[in-house]
Chain A
Amino acid sequence: EVRLVESGGGLVHPGGSLRLSCAASGFTVSTSYLSWVRQAPGKGLEWVSVIYRGGNTNYADSVKGRFTVSRDNSKNTLYLQMTSLRAEDTAVYYCARDFAGYCGPSNCYVGAFDIWGQGTLVSVSS
């Protein structure tokens, strides 16, 4: 079964750090495009970051310089390292497999998401 399972969410103070994990099964993270998408309480969906098959990454402007996406191929797991957290980062964070992204000669593009994890809640509050 193709599946994604997130973990690592919790309550953190403003300015703090947290690392989210997303364990994949049924497919290989090293040959996939994977994104993080978040959803603030009662709000819509916001794309956060992507790691492409080749290992290059991209981020939403709202998290650039604070969040880092990575993967461990041996563990078939995706990560999101979050630093300098703010109240507005409070959200459920989903990892999602991108089946429609692609890389052209000079740039890569995020696609659509066919597999989603169940989400993990990050709360930033003092």
Chain B
Amino acid sequence: EIVLTQSPGTLSLSPGERATLSCRASQSVTNNFLAWYAQIPGQAPRLLIYAASIRATGIPDRFSGSGSGTAFTLTIGRLEPEDFAVYYCQHYGTSPITFGQGTRLEIK
């Protein structure tokens, strides 16, 4: 089983700042099959990025994903109020799929 470790646990930033979230895998992620989701408390997760760097439909271009192998990054260019949420990474394509423990992005 691939263990995904996200850092930091909590990130405190102000609107307009840039956010950088990390996801590290315990072994190489096949074909860079790595997705990112955002979850506002009380709501379902929303897909942001898949295949490490491809934005999902309707996701603004301030969200970008990068990385390969065991190290992946989600960058949010300029934070909007609606971006403050919990972010999860997930690997797929090998069994079982797993999620990281999440990074909470909070307003400073």
| Chain A interfacial positions (CB closer than 8 Å to B) | 44-47, 58, 60-61, 94, 100-102, 107, 109-114, 116-119
| Chain B interfacial positions (CB closer than 8 Å to A) | 33, 35, 37, 43-47, 50-51, 56-57, 88, 90, 92-102
| Interface SS majority for chain B | loop
Between B37, B57, B88, B95, the greatest number of chain A beta carbons within 10 A of the residue's beta carbon is seen for B95
Complex-state Cα separation, A50 to B44, whole angstroms: 18
Interface contact A44-B92, CB-CB below 8 Å: no
A61 nearest in chain B by CB position: B96
Name the B residues within 8 Å of A117 (CB-CB): 44
Complex-state Cα separation, A17 to B39, whole angstroms: 29
Shortest Cβ distance from residue B35 to the other chain A in the assembled complex, whole angstroms: 4
Interface contact B33-A111, CB-CB below 8 Å: yes
Interface contact A112-B92, CB-CB below 8 Å: yes
A98 nearest in chain B by CB position: B92
Complex-state Cα separation, A64 to B32, whole angstroms: 28
